Amino acid sequence: MLYTKKLDVFSQILETQSGENKSLLSQAYECAKYAHKNQKRKSWEDYIVHPVSVAIRLWEKFYDLNLTIAWLLHDAAEDCEDISISDIEKQFWTDVAFLVDSVTKNSDTLIRTNKTFQKKIDKLLYAWMMDVRCFLLKLADREDNIKTLSILPDDKQVRMAFETQAIFSPLDWVMDFWNTQTLENIKENFYWFLKSENIDNSLQLKDNLIKKTYKNLSDESFESVYNHSGNVTWQINDKKILEKLVEIPDIDEKIEIISIENWERDYFIFQFKFKKWEILNKKIPLDVSNVYSFRKI
């Protein structure tokens, strides 16, 4: 039923187009449908609902043909052995293939570059510096995926939320993504941000974004926390941060308290683990410099 409604809306969008634009959008939809045939999301809805739903939203917001086509195909190369980035480039141009490749996890290279990336987040950030639409693609994907996040195990919820809070959300806030109405405004906001923060490369971008939420989180510790999110013990010895933490509604359902050590006067150590992704709040800048550890499963 949901798919039928979304398909009706997408069909209406197609009817507003003509010539090559209409043909390419139609081809992209058919390619996505083939790539995800018989696939289900964690919520058990047909997987094709995911690319079609967000394609509609991106089109209605930005009216960018290549961004919309790339969204329809964003999981195609990962989920279908018969579809490669090269195939997408041949059928839909290099611009679309670059956008799709930037969010394709099973490839450690990036089209239009000679670089190889060991970490998928570094590939993403490098692509963002080249084309801000790569960020729009990933942010739209993350926002839609979070709707079904509660179905995942707690450790995966925390891992996804940690990455979102450390990398994606800070740039979303900087660019005011969902309130900004045009692609040109998005680009202006992004490049103004890079200039104002003196950011020249993707490593500097990563470091800057991380520190907007986590005071002393290094690139090395980011990888450690990301890979062990379910087992990370966080520590607070700042009274103001603790006060913000306990103000969160239903806090006892969202964290697991490990220990509370009271020392002289106002000095204390409060250790806890995240249980749910909602806890990662931009208003709580956790200091993780020498204060996180790993517990055995």
Is 122 one of the annotated active-site residues of the chain? Answer: no
C-alpha of 39 from chain center: 22
What token pair was written down for 113? 């570059």
Instruction: Show Cβ contacts of residue 201 under 8 Å, excluding neighbours closer than 6 positions.
Output: 129
- Amino acid of residue 93: W
SS3 241: helix
Q: Which one from 45, 46, 64, 79 is the annotated catalytic residue?
A: 79
Query: Which residues have a Cβ under 8 Å from the Cβ of 241 and sit 6 or more positions away?
Result: 284, 285, 286, 287
Structure tokens at 186: 């998005």
Annotated catalytic residue, options 45, 78, 143, 188? 78
- How many Å apart are CA 170 and CA 243, to the nearest integer? 22
Does the annotation count 79 as an active-site position?
yes
Q: Alpha helices, DSSP H only, in 164-236?
A: 169-175, 183-196, 202-211, 219-227
Cβ atoms of 282 and 166 within 8 Å: the answer is no
Per DSSP, the three-state class of 268 is strand
Q: What residues have CB less than 8 Å from 6, skipping those under 6 apart? A: 49, 52, 53, 56
- Residues serving a catalytic function are 78-79
